[in-house]
């Protein structure tokens, strides 16, 4: 028995709805495919396996049976994939191209009965690709027609079948949204609470404490409150085609359909306008809507801090005014505070976290340099803690210390980065240039000696040997000259690019401070160049867990983590 005869023959069948009939039905597809295997390919029934997706669309590959079949193909268990029609397996050209690459890589023959081709021949493969182009074109044209119909309905103030928002119910008889007797009063209360000085957080807390459920019966978050207050439908306006998807990015204003006074308003439009104006003012005051990273300033620890209570990430809450020394610290808050669990972990600032982290890194560098003198984990712990000017830290977990000792014993850098070297970059370039110039002089001298040997030595080399050696030396000379030219160009470029020069100088000074063995003044370094500080910290640390303003865990980029113990 050959290897192919031991593999299965996969019959893939699919319908996009559970009730398709006639030639698109699942029983019909299975019947035709089995008959083809039996009478045309003469395949043993024991080798046949059917993969069936009912009620699944062909526009993407997120289908259970399809994914199970592809796993078997990648495992080398399939010899053929047979479908009734090409669009049964895919209607997307990109998806099919990726899928077909897997077929070819695993020597799988693809056959479609309806189009009467198989990919074991070059013609069959070419026809397959042409057919798939038109299958995708048909799908896109259909999608565009549906979209045009939906937009036309929206312009005529007809609802397009989406779930009605909180405060509204669906009137099946008149096919339109109407005020909800249960939810509309809560909506009016929320608008009034915000006008009376409330916030999305206080409204959220009120709703949850008074057991007011959301549309789906869950708990409120500050975002669901904000979305409700921002919804123009509550003032009677109809907005359609606003986002790419329910949570996608906003579409250009010219593509949005906005019809005023399309529905009877739940709240007075003047109240809606007042609330939204106030929300805009509050957002501008915080320089953020909700709690999002402040993007127009550098925040050194953004994206690194994790809450030790609820596990949510910390995000930037604000940036303090500049101090006398130029230091402008950022503050960070747990995003769990703005979720339904309402985490109460304390905020933290660069003032707390910056000096600790930079000096902890300096301690690890110092320990790495002195690793030959570190006899046990107690020595290691004492050395690291001697760098940290925080008296409430009483120790480091034993597991953290043992893992670090194991890393040291492997003779690797404690942080796994090369940037903690104080090597003189300019000296390295000069040394490389001098070496190349010496090689160039040697090559030129070799060429001169070669010419003299050929022209004046009675027992000299033949013309053929001379030309071969001369050609090789001239190639070497050109390569050396090109390398020298590149060094010169790089040097000129570095001098011209003042920003890069400053950045390099800042990094050198920062690394020099860390290598000094003394306490590192985080405020001074961060004030000089926050961006360089952020890049440096991010290159060494991948996560910092905080609990009540204390750093309880540091995870380094090389996977090493240290858990800190407090009084």
CATH number of the domain enclosing 271: 3.90.1750.20
Picking from 142, 177, 210, the residue at the C-terminal end of a domain is: 142
Host H or E run for residue 454: helix 425-456
Packed helices 498-515 and 463-496: angle between N→C axes, nearest 10 degrees = 90
For tokens 């399939």, what's the residue?
A: 78
| pLDDT for residue 250 is more than 70 | yes
Cα(351)–Cα(3) distance, integer angstroms = 67
pLDDT band at 517 (very low <50, low <70, confident <90, very high): low
| pLDDT for residue 357 is more than 70 | yes
Q: Where are the beta strands (DSSP E) in 323-462?
A: 330-334, 348-349, 393-396
Query: Among 135, 77, 65, which Cα is nearest to 102's?
Result: 77
Give the residue with greater pLDDT, 318 vs 190. Answer: 190
H helices within 156-307, ranges in order?
Answer: 184-195, 200-209, 222-230, 269-286
In this structure, are 257 and 364 located in the same domain? no
In this structure, are 210 and 94 located in the same domain? no
pLDDT at res. 487: 66
Per-position DSSP letters for 496-563, written without gaps between them: H-HHHHHHHHHHHHHHHHHHT-SPP-HHHHHHH-HHHHHHHHHHHEEEEEEETTEEEEEEETTS-EEE
> Which positions ≥6 away from 440 have C-beta within 8 Å?
477, 480, 481, 484
Give the residue with greater pLDDT, 409 vs 495. Answer: 409
Maximum CA pair distance of the chain?
Answer: 115
pLDDT at res. 461: 65
In this structure, are 366 and 514 located in the same domain? yes
- Residue 167 gets the label, from left (phi > 0), alpha (psi -120 to 50) or beta, of left
Cα(299)–Cα(318) distance, integer angstroms = 9
pLDDT at res. 509: 54
Per-position DSSP letters for 41-108, written without gaps between them: S---GGGEEEEEEES--SSSS--HHHHHHHHHHHTT-EEEEEESSHHHH-S-HHHHHHHHHHHHHTT-
Tell me the two tokens of residue 140. Answer: 């896109």
CATH number of the domain enclosing 93: 3.40.50.1390
* pLDDT above 90 as % of the chain: 13
Rounded to the nearest 5 percent, the helix, strand and coil shares of the chain are: 50, 15, 35
pLDDT at res. 269: 92
- Pick from 68-77, 329-338, 489-498 the range whose average pLDDT is largest: 68-77
User: What average pLDDT does range 138-146 have in this prediction?
Assistant: 70
Picking from 232, 261, 286, the residue at the C-terminal end of a domain is: 286
| C-alpha dihedral (520, 522, 527, 529), degrees to nearest 10 | 80
Query: Among 25, 31, 40, which Cα is nearest to 109's?
Result: 40
In this structure, are 381 and 263 located in the same domain? no
Query: Among 371, 373, 308, which Cα is nearest to 343's?
Result: 308
Q: Is residue 155 part of a domain?
A: no
DSSP type of residue 320? P
Q: Which of 16, 199, 368, 413 is catalytic?
A: 16
pLDDT at res. 270: 93
Residue 16 among the catalytic residues: yes
| pLDDT for residue 388 is more than 80 | no
In this structure, are 528 and 429 located in the same domain? yes
Q: Is 261 helix (H, G, I), strand (E, B) or coil?
A: coil
Q: What are phi and psi of 271, to 5 degrees?
A: -70, -45
pLDDT at res. 414: 45
| C-alpha dihedral (97, 98, 100, 102), degrees to nearest 10 | 160
| pLDDT for residue 429 is more than 90 | no
pLDDT band at 515 (very low <50, low <70, confident <90, very high): low
Q: Is residue 172 part of a domain?
A: yes
Give the residue with greater pLDDT, 293 vs 382. Answer: 382
Instruction: Provide the residue range defining the domain that includes 56.
Output: 4-142
In this structure, are 33 and 61 located in the same domain? yes
| pLDDT for residue 460 is more than 70 | no
Q: What is the pLDDT of residues 31-87, one digit of tens each?
A: 999 999 988 888 888 899 999 988 777 666 788 899 999 999 988 999 999 998 877
pLDDT at res. 548: 87
**Angle at 219 (CA atoms; ends 214, 225), nearest 5 degrees:** 65
Q: Is residue 482 part of a domain?
A: no
What is the gyration radius of the CA atoms in the chain, in angstroms? 35
pLDDT band at 94 (very low <50, low <70, confident <90, very high): low
Measured in whole angstroms, the distance separating CA 379 from the mean position of its chain's CA atoms is 40
| pLDDT for residue 244 is more than 80 | no
pLDDT at res. 18: 52
In this structure, are 269 and 298 located in the same domain? no
Q: Is residue 523 part of a domain?
A: yes
Per-position DSSP letters for 132-168, written without gaps between them: HHHHHHHHHHHHHHHHHHHHHHHHTT---SPPPPTTE
The answer to which of 99-108, 131-140, 408-417 has the lowest mean pLDDT is 408-417
Query: Among 101, 95, 87, which Cα is nearest to 138's?
Result: 87
pLDDT at res. 497: 41
In this structure, are 108 and 183 located in the same domain? no
In this structure, are 429 and 515 located in the same domain? yes
Q: Is residue 312 part of a domain?
A: yes
User: What average pLDDT does range 523-534 have in this prediction?
Assistant: 74
In this structure, are 532 and 397 located in the same domain? yes
Q: Is residue 525 part of a domain?
A: yes
Query: Among 46, 45, 51, 47, which Cα is nearest to 4's?
Result: 47
Q: Is 230 helix (H, G, I), strand (E, B) or coil?
A: helix
- Residue 101 gets the label, from left (phi > 0), alpha (psi -120 to 50) or beta, of alpha
> Which positions ≥6 away from 492 have C-beta within 8 Å?
none
Q: Is residue 75 part of a domain?
A: yes
The answer to which of 195-209, 233-247, 372-386, 489-503 has the lowest mean pLDDT is 489-503
pLDDT band at 360 (very low <50, low <70, confident <90, very high): confident
| pLDDT for residue 464 is more than 60 | yes
pLDDT at res. 99: 81
User: What average pLDDT does range 273-298 have in this prediction?
Assistant: 67
The answer to which of 147-161, 361-375, 526-540 has the lowest mean pLDDT is 147-161
pLDDT at res. 50: 93
In this structure, are 224 and 282 located in the same domain? yes
Q: What is the pLDDT of residues 183-215, one digit of tens each?
A: 999 999 999 999 888 888 889 888 888 888 888
Query: Among 514, 545, 518, 544, which Cα is nearest to 532's?
Result: 514
**Count of domains in the chain?**
3
Cα(100)–Cα(108) distance, integer angstroms = 9
pLDDT at res. 228: 92
Q: Is residue 325 part of a domain?
A: yes
Picking from 264, 286, 308, the residue at the C-terminal end of a domain is: 286
In this structure, are 411 and 526 located in the same domain? yes
DSSP type of residue 250? B
Query: Among 545, 541, 546, 566, which Cα is nearest to 556's?
Result: 541
């Amino acid at each position: 028995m050959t290897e192919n005869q031991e593999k299965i023959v996969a019959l893939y069948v699919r319908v996009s709805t559970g009730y398709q009939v006639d030639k698109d039905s699942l029983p019909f597809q299975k019947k035709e495919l089995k008959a083809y295997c039996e009478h045309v390919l003469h395949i043993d029934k024991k080798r046949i396996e059917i993969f069936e997706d009912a009620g699944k669309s062909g526009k993407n590959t997120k289908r259970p049976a399809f994914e199970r079949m592809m796993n078997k193909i990648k495992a080398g268990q399939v010899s053929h994939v047979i479908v009734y029609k090409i669009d049964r397996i895919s209607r997307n050209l990109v998806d099919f191209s990726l899928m077909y690459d897997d077929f070819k890589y695993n020597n799988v023959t693809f056959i479609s009965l309806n189009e009467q081709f198989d990919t074991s021949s070059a013609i069959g493969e070419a026809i397959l690709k042409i057919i798939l182009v038109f299958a995708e074109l048909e799908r896109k044209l259909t999608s565009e027609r549906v979209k045009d119909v939906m937009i036309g309905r929206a312009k005529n103030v007809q609802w397009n079948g989406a779930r009605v928002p909180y405060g509204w119910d669906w009137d099946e008889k008149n096919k339109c949204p109407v005020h909800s007797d249960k939810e509309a009063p809560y909506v009016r209360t929320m608008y009034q609470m915000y006008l009376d000085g409330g916030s999305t957080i206080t409204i959220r807390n009120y709703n949850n404490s008074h057991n007011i459920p959301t549309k789906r019966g869950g708990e409120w978050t500050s975002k669901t409150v904000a979305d409700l207050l921002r919804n123009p439908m509550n003032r009677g306006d109809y907005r359609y085609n606003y986002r790419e998807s329910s949570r996608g990015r906003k579409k250009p204003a010219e593509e949005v359909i906005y019809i005023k006074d399309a529905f009877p308003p739940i709240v007075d439009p003047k109240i809606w306008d007042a609330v939204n104006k106030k929300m805009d003012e509050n957002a501008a005051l915080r320089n953020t809507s909700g709690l999002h990273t402040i993007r127009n300033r550098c925040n050194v620890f953004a994206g690194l801090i994790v809450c030790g209570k609820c596990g949510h990430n910390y995000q930037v809450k604000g940036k303090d005014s500049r101090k006398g020394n130029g230091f402008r610290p950022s503050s960070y808050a747990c995003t769990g505070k703005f979720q339904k669990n309402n985490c109460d972990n304390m905020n933290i600032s660069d003032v707390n976290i910056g000096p600790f982290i930079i000096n902890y890194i300096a301690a690890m560098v110092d320990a790495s340099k002195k690793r030959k003198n570190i006899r046990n984990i107690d020595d290691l712990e004492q050395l690291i803690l001697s760098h940290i000017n925080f008296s409430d830290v009483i120790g480091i977990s034993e597991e953290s210390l043992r893992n670090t000792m194991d890393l040291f014993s492997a003779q690797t850098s404690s942080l796994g980065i090369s940037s903690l070297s104080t090597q003189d970059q300019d000296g390295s370039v000069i040394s490389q240039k001098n070496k190349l110039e010496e090689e160039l002089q040697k090559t030129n001298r070799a060429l001169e000696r070669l010419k003299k040997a050929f022209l004046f030595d009675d027992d000299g080399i033949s013309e053929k040997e001379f030309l071969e050696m001369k050609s090789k030396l001239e190639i070497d000379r050109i390569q050396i000259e090109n390398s020298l030219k590149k060094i010169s160009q790089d040097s000129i470029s570095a001098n011209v690019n003042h920003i890069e020069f400053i950045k390099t100088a800042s990094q050198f000074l920062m690394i020099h401070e860390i290598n000094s063995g003394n306490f590192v003044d985080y405020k001074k370094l961060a004030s000089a160049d926050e961006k360089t500080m952020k890049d440096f910290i991010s290159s060494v640390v991948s996560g910092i867990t905080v609990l009540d303003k204390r750093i309880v865990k540091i995870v380094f980029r090389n996977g090493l983590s240290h858990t800190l113990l407090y009084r």
